[in-house]
Amino acid sequence: MAPRPARAAAAGLFLPLLLALSAGGCGERPGAGAPITLVFKHAKILGPADPMPGLLRRFEADHPGVRVQSEALTWSSDEQHQFYVINLEGGGPPFDVMMLDVIWVPEFARAGWILDLTSSVPPAERDAHFPTAIAPAMQDGRLWALPWFMNVGLLYYRADLLAKYGFGAPPETYEELTAQVRRIRAGERDPSLDGYLWQGKQYEGGMVNVLEALWANGARLLDEAGRPFPEAERARESLAFLRGLIESGVSPAWVTAADEELTRRPFGDGRAIFLRSWPYALDLFELPDSRVRGKVGVAPIPRLRHGPVGAASTGGAHLAVSARTRHRDLAVALARFLTSETAQRAMTEGAALRPSRPALYRDAGLIARDPSLPALHGLMLRGHPRPITPYYLMLSTTLQPEFSAVLVGRKSPARAMRDATAQVEHLLRSVTP
Amino acid sequence: MSDRGLAWLLLSPALLVLATLTVYPALWVLWLAFQYRIPVFGISRWAGLDHFAFLAEGTRFWNAAWVTGVFTVTSVALESALGLAIAVALRGQRGGRRTALALLLLAWALPSVVTAKMFEWLYHPAGGLVNFLLGDRAINWLGDPALALPSLILADVWRATPFVALLCYARLLTIPPDLYEAAEVDGAAGLQAFARITWPLVRPILLVTMLFRTLDAIRAFDIMFVLTGGGPAGSTESLTVYAYRALFQTLQIGLGSAIGVVVFALVMVVAAVYLRLIGRPERTA
Amino acid sequence: MRAGRRRDAVVLLALSLYAAPFFWQALTSVRPDAELLPLTRLLPSRLTWAHYDVVLRQSLMPRALINSLGIALLSTLLAIGLGALAAYALARLPVRGRGVILLAMVAATAFPQIATVSPLYLLMRALGLRDTWLALILANGSFALPLVIWLLTGFIREIPRALEEAAAVDGADRLAILRWVVLPLVAPGMASAALLAFLFSWNEFLFAYSFTATEASRTVPVALALFPGVFEVPWGDIAAASLLASLPPILIVVGFQRYLVRGLLAGALRE
């Protein structure tokens, strides 16, 4: 995706003209006069074949006189967020359609940066997505964004090792997981073979892992009123359990500083039995030169004593329309097109992304290319969104250091929960009048 | 135009800029510290002493204050001792003084972000020079809560020692060599000469230098923010890093400003204590 | 004499070791990727310019270098321009409350940036200056201004008054004296102050990190702190980028050492 300076410059030249035209209040009439340019901001799509150019040309063909200019965001999620905040508060060139991390949608809605899509999207279209993907796009009963692709937490396991030691199925509980790790490591006598890898670094991914541990024990982070740890004892057990994984050696100490890639690599090199990660890793494990090709299975995240199996966090990206767009209808049309079944099928085929539409998980053509789809379908349905609140990012960054302190053993779970509660309460005092 | 009028004409642009961009913000931050202020959501309400009460109760604040304290005291002490030693060693230097100073000042002149990135690589468990020189250890210097703060302090000492060394060295150069010759005649050499001649003369400037370094260490932000980000698990989170996270990561401008005010107050108190130690600064009039 | 020379060499060697972290970074910047992780040998088997190639062709660094250079030069110009006028007034003209003003300048040099970053952020936001050069020029220039005034006031005082008086007798007015007598004489001092102001702006991170969002105004320290890696940290590229970020400081330490040292000493010792 090389930048096209000539085209960008041309857009820059046309922009003042367009502003003058639309200021006249005549709305947008594509096809007549100067071409309209829609700017689409999104992260670079990785994968075998980038489907974006084809999709955008197709949209342009359906809308004569409209050009879509695709602009790549930086790689890191924090930077994308900072870019949006500064840009949407004023200043900076406007754009029309933007990719949002699912956890930002309520925040952007509350800040007034994105358009309410409720009346533009027919109910049937909305219901064609997983409810777990639509729920985080809702705020105050309105719909603010459309799901573009979806993620869910998974347990990867080494099917070959489990079979070798007579375990017929992947673990349903963490107790079983621990027992399997002990048995297999005792048998393999390989000091470089780790047990269970997950993401314990102080960042959003670490937050996801803590949330999954809470849910796995039937505990929530916040109750309906936003108060933290309504099931305090279960939450304490969950945190103690995560720390216990490290103390008992089931997980290596370095997981407390690990993100997705740092844990994916050793598992991909055959140096771990279990891994908690997102679906993207599956494609990498099945590459022709992968050392674990054909040896990896996926299962729901196990449970602790009080919780359900497969209480995994959902993730993914949504498309929203900027409140500063000058081409409201066209921008909404673009967002709807890019989240349509056609577009999501192309994204599933060309990039290592999973769709947010259940129908595609039953599509024979897609299943032929990716046999894991039916299994993922069940997991997506069972997944949990992270707390849906405009203050999620504030909450998460406030809580991350506390949870991190538990994982490295600097604080007891009870102490960290007390400190976390005080901070969340202070935060809530700030935001509620 | 009268000289008096001209004086104000020449002063006013600078004073205007300072009033807008230094004095006004310094007063404004005091006001913000008493506000709930979250610009993205348009929240702006009076908070009274809530932020300060919250800080006083919170372990995170006291942890940050402790980190700032340990970082400041340890790094200033090490920098002073090492800087003085380097100054004494440099004093006898005849040839290559320029080269010596260039090698020394380089560490001080580099952007602290560069220093942080350099040390991050030096400390890298598998690719770092430190573990390599220790004989292929796999010590996780920045990932271990017990080692991260000492590792951070070492990086800061490397960066700031040259400043101390330069100032002490400049003072040492003004000591007439015959003082030492006279002392040698009296049978005082080495440590004795140092205690009798060097120390009394260099002590005042060392104190001034320590004042500067202490203020800088309390205010330090770049090096810990880039090197450890305050982690692991808050073990290197100073007051400045805590303030930054409150301000720009959780977007709580009010709370972040309150922490900033604490840093502000700390700087003023420390400056006052040092000035008392050093004696009233000479009023130049 | 021989012993003296050997002693000199030992001190130089020790100082070279002191600077070793920097030299190691320089070596890393030309070490092939394959020999970075894990580190198995001290010296690389061959040298490569690949990291510089990546940094100069595929990263934001070139743009950041331009931003940093422009912002540092302009904020230095701002600080020196305003500072020189103010310093002349404080050094030579009757100013009521001069002592208080000078004391305020000293106090202002101790201001913690973290305390003023939030109001400045709100100010830049209100003025629509976020992510612009101007925001950083104003912030950095005003932050360096108290030190510049303090330094220049001292330097101007060192100039013998007799020269100015002679010019006054010849009929020159105050501004002419400032322009033709004082400024040329205080030029070395201005160079010292300018170097410190430039270094401050070049190295500044907190303001730049808080006020910028895109390559339109990202400075070198921010670009370096956020140096992107997709799957792993590109240590070689980061080392190359750090070397580029270090060029102006190196130039100053090696080429303008005299002015730098004079500025540092004057700033610290005249109190």
The larger pLDDT score, comparing residue A188 to residue A49, is at: A188
Task: Let me know: does A339 contact A356? Beta carbons within 8 Å.
Answer: yes
DSSP A129: S
Q: d(Cα A248, Cα B71) in Å, to the nearest integer? A: 33
Average pLDDT over residues A171-189: 96
Mark yes or no for CB contact A89/C231 under 8 Å. no
Q: Which residue of C has its CA nearest to A80?
A: C213
Q: Given a contact as 3+ CB pairs under 8 Å, which chains touch C?
A: A, B
Range with the poorest average pLDDT among A83-87, A399-403, C10-14, C249-253: A83-87
Please give the structure tokens belonging to residue A284: 């990498």
Out of B43, B60, B235, the one facing A419 most closely (by C-beta) is B60
Provide residues of A within 8 Å CB-CB of chain B. Answer: 85, 89, 107, 110-111, 202, 254, 256-257, 390, 393-394, 397-398, 401-402, 404-405, 407-411, 415, 419, 422-423, 426-427, 429-431, 433
Provide residues of A within 8 Å CB-CB of chain C. Answer: 74-76, 79, 82-83, 85-87, 89-92, 261
**Pairing assessment for the beta strands A66-73 and A36-43 based on DSSP bridges:** parallel
Q: d(Cα A353, Cα C230) in Å, to the nearest integer? A: 17
* Interface check B117 vs C, CB under 8 A: yes
Q: Which residue of C has its CA nearest to B88?
A: C11
To the nearest 10°, report the CA torsion of A274, A277, A280, A286: 0
Out of C213, C230, C231, the one facing A87 most closely (by C-beta) is C213
The larger pLDDT score, comparing residue A375 to residue A89, is at: A375
Highest mean pLDDT pick, A14-28, A149-163, A248-262, C211-225: A149-163
Complex confidence, ipTM: 0.93
Q: d(Cα A336, Cα A317) in Å, to the nearest integer? A: 14
Quick one: which of A100, A78, A110 has its CA closest to A391? A110
> What CA–CA distances, in Å, run from C219 to B181, C40, C60, C202?
53, 34, 10, 8
pLDDT of C87 above 60: yes
Q: What is the pLDDT of residue A47?
A: 67
Mark yes or no for CB contact C18/B107 under 8 Å. yes
A272's enclosing H/E stretch is strand A272-277
Residues 194-213 of C with CB under 8 A from B: 199, 202-203, 205-206, 210
Average pLDDT over residues A266-294: 93
Q: For residue A15, name the pLDDT band (cuts at 50, 70, 90).
A: very low
* Cα A350 → chain centroid: 19
Q: Chain A residues with CB inside 8 Å of C125's CB?
A: 89
What angle is formed at CA B141 by the lines to CA B119 and CA B61, rounded to 5 degrees? 95
Q: Chain A residues with CB inside 8 Å of C130's CB?
A: 86, 91
Residue B269: partners with Cβ closer than 8 Å, 6 or more residues away = none
Q: What is the pLDDT of residue B185?
A: 79
pLDDT of B282 above 70: no
Out of B43, B47, B233, the one facing A401 most closely (by C-beta) is B233
Q: What is the pLDDT of residue C233?
A: 81
Q: Which residue of B has its CA nearest to C150?
A: B284
**Pairing assessment for the beta strands A36-43 and A272-277 based on DSSP bridges:** unpaired
Please give the structure tokens belonging to residue B52: 């300060």
Q: Which of A396, A425, A430 to mutate to test the interface with B (most CBs of B within 10 A)?
A: A430
pLDDT of A31 above 70: no
Range with the poorest average pLDDT among B97-101, B203-207, B230-234, C149-153: B230-234
Out of B47, B54, B232, the one facing A257 most closely (by C-beta) is B232
Q: What is the pLDDT of residue A5?
A: 37
pLDDT tens for B184-223 read 777 777 788 888 888 888 998 999 899 999 999 999 999 9
Q: d(Cα A278, Cα A285) in Å, to the nearest integer? A: 12
Q: What is the pLDDT of residue A19?
A: 34
Q: What is the pLDDT of residue B196?
A: 82
Q: What is the pLDDT of residue A21?
A: 33
pLDDT of A288 above 80: yes
Task: Let me know: does B105 contact C244? Beta carbons within 8 Å.
Answer: no
Q: d(Cα C201, Cα B284) in Å, to the nearest integer? A: 29
**What is the residue extent of each domain of chain B?**
29-278
Average pLDDT over residues A4-12: 36
Q: Can you state the percent helix, strand and coil of chain A, rounding each to 5?
A: 50, 15, 35
Name the minimum distance, in Å, from the CA of B146 to any CA of chain C.
23
C225-263 burial, b for 16+ CB within 10 Å, e for fewer?
bbbeeeeebbbbbbbbbbbbbbebbbebbbebbebbbbb
Task: Let me know: does A424 contact A432? Beta carbons within 8 Å.
Answer: no
Q: For residue B281, name the pLDDT band (cuts at 50, 70, 90).
A: very low
| Helices assigned H by DSSP within A217-327 | 232-247, 260-268, 280-285
pLDDT tens for B125-142 read 888 999 999 988 888 899
Q: What is the pLDDT of residue B136?
A: 80
Q: For residue B268, name the pLDDT band (cuts at 50, 70, 90).
A: very high
Residue B36 pairs in a beta bridge with B45
Out of C131, C226, C232, the one facing A91 most closely (by C-beta) is C131
The larger pLDDT score, comparing residue B283 to residue B11, is at: B11
Which pTM value belongs to this model? Answer: 0.87
Range with the poorest average pLDDT among A167-176, A348-357, B255-264: A348-357
Q: What is the CATH number of domain B29-278?
A: 1.10.3720.10
pLDDT of A128 above 70: yes
pLDDT tens for A206-257 read 999 999 999 999 999 999 888 999 999 999 999 999 999 999 999 999 999 8
Quick one: which of A294, A275, A279 has its CA closest to A197? A275
Residue A158 pairs in a beta bridge with A296
Q: What is the pLDDT of residue B279?
A: 66
Q: For residue C168, name the pLDDT band (cuts at 50, 70, 90).
A: confident
Average pLDDT over residues B173-178: 84
Task: Let me know: does B124 contact C232? Beta carbons within 8 Å.
Answer: no
Q: For residue A25, name the pLDDT band (cuts at 50, 70, 90).
A: very low
Q: Given a contact as 3+ CB pairs under 8 Å, which chains touch B?
A: A, C
Residues 221-260 of C with CB under 8 A from A: 226, 228, 230-232
Out of C131, C231, C232, the one facing A92 most closely (by C-beta) is C131
Q: What is the pLDDT of residue C226?
A: 85
The larger pLDDT score, comparing residue C129 to residue A30, is at: C129
Q: Chain A residues with CB inside 8 Å of C128's CB?
A: 90-91
Average pLDDT over residues C136-141: 96
